[in-house]
Amino acid sequence: MIREISVPTHKHTEFINIGRQVQNAVKEIGVKDGICLVYTPHTTAAITINEDADPDVTRDIMMELEKAFPWNDIDYRHNEGNSAAHIKSSLVGASVMVIMENGKLIQGTWQTIYFCEFDGPRNRKVYVKIVGK
Amino acid sequence: MIREISVPTHKHTEFINIGRQVQNAVKEIGVKDGICLVYTPHTTAAITINEDADPDVTRDIMMELEKAFPWNDIDYRHNEGNSAAHIKSSLVGASVMVIMENGKLIQGTWQTIYFCEFDGPRNRKVYVKIVGK
Amino acid sequence: MIREISVPTHKHTEFINIGRQVQNAVKEIGVKDGICLVYTPHTTAAITINEDADPDVTRDIMMELEKAFPWNDIDYRHNEGNSAAHIKSSLVGASVMVIMENGKLIQGTWQTIYFCEFDGPRNRKVYVKIVGK
């Protein structure tokens, strides 16, 4: 069984905390013990795990990624003009894996799961799949 | 059961679309529902998911990675001279995971799986493994 | 079953080879065939796969990551001052997956698993979980 989460994004670049939605999907799937894959089917977005507490953490990640892989670069050739979003997508990655035990995601105190929008705003999707028992 | 895919590379830096080969390996393994791991056993290569349509997307990814992590840097100490390839390998990652349903990989419309060569040309390998049922 | 590995780190930035500890955890879990998830619950650290042979490889990776995502940047806002560690954590990633067969991790000749400390020294943890049979 696959659960699909809808993630509407509202800015060009945005990290959206989807930890609660993933936990709800996990409950609906009903598998108690195993590994949970959180996967986005988009090539200008990504999924990551990082700090939940201070919003400046994800703000600084976005800023520094923009410095290293700028939106504007005279050498880009891709005619949609969003090469930087594709680059960030491959570096951050299309998915994360989290261990499940007793029906709960096992994460660190400060960890949550983020959907990373790199070319929004758009209506995005995330798939949740569990293997285990 | 593990399926091995051979990937001969022909350039120093090259993204090779292996989506069809992975799908064929998945058919041979015969598991219908679960999670598929696509893994490369090399430390100067990687696996990623990105756009299939315009070849300039992967061209721009390679170019921008080279700008951020240049092949030549007077501060490198590794005596084989390929530190940049090792760096890109760790950032892009040695594997991707894809959800499987009814014997098919569930990917986005524009997504495919790429083998990323960062120190070629070489004869490379990719392993495909499924957990599920 | 989850196995926990303790990883004391001794420097601010440090890659620690945990390949042997992961293999020992795999033996204790006792699952012979499947996929092994190696996951760190911290947001200023990461897990990666890279070369085992020459210590200058990981030294060069750390150096080049510091050049691309410097510890000091006047534009950072996160008040703990460790934004660079959070950035590297998301780029390298909180986990790796490795295929298991006959009770052994299937890795390339030069590959091992590293715990990546980006804001040490600290006492860190790594979780090992296997799905399969």
Q: State how many domains chain A has.
A: 1
Place C58 in a pLDDT band, splitting at 50, 70 and 90: very high
Contact C86 A110 (CB under 8 A): no
Chains within contact range of chain A (3+ C-beta pairs < 8 Å): B, C
Residues of C with CB under 8 A from a CB of A: 2, 35, 37, 39-43, 68-69, 73, 75-80, 83-84, 86-87, 89-91, 93-95, 97, 127, 129, 131
Q: Return the pLDDT at A133.
A: 78
Q: What percent of chain C has pLDDT over 70?
A: 100
- Which residues in chain A are contacts of B92 at CB distance < 8 A? 90-91
Per-residue pLDDT averaged across C7-11, rounded?
Answer: 98
Chains that touch C (3 or more CB pairs under 8 A): A, B
Q: What phi, psi does B87 have (nearest 5°)?
A: -65, -50
For residues C106-111, average pLDDT: 97
Residue A106 three-state SS: coil
**Regions of chain A where pLDDT drops below 50:** none
pLDDT at A63: 98
What's the confidence (pLDDT) of residue C61? 98
Q: With a cut of 80, say whether residue C133 has pLDDT above it.
A: no
pLDDT tens-digit readout, C14-33 = 999 999 999 999 999 999 99
State whether ipTM is beyond 0.90: yes
- Mean pLDDT along residues C78-103: 97
pTM value?
0.98
**Across B104-128, average pLDDT:** 98
CATH number at residue A85: 2.60.120.460
pLDDT at A129: 97
List Cα–Cα distances, B41 to A128, C48, C111, in angstroms. 27, 13, 7
Q: Which domain holds residue A70?
A: 2-132
State the nearest Cα–Cα gap between A5 and chain B, in angstroms: 14
pLDDT attached to residue C86: 98
What is the CB neighbour count within 10 angstroms for residue B109?
10
Residue listed under structure tokens 């939940």: A52
- From A69, A76, A77, residue closest to B68, measured CB to CB: A69
What are the pLDDT digits (tens) for B42-97?
A: 999 999 999 999 999 999 999 999 999 999 999 999 999 999 999 999 999 999 99
**DSSP assignments along C42-96, one per residue:** -SSEEEEEEESS-HHHHHHHHHHHHHHS-S--TT---TTS-HHHHHHHHHH-SEE
> What is the residue type of C122?
R
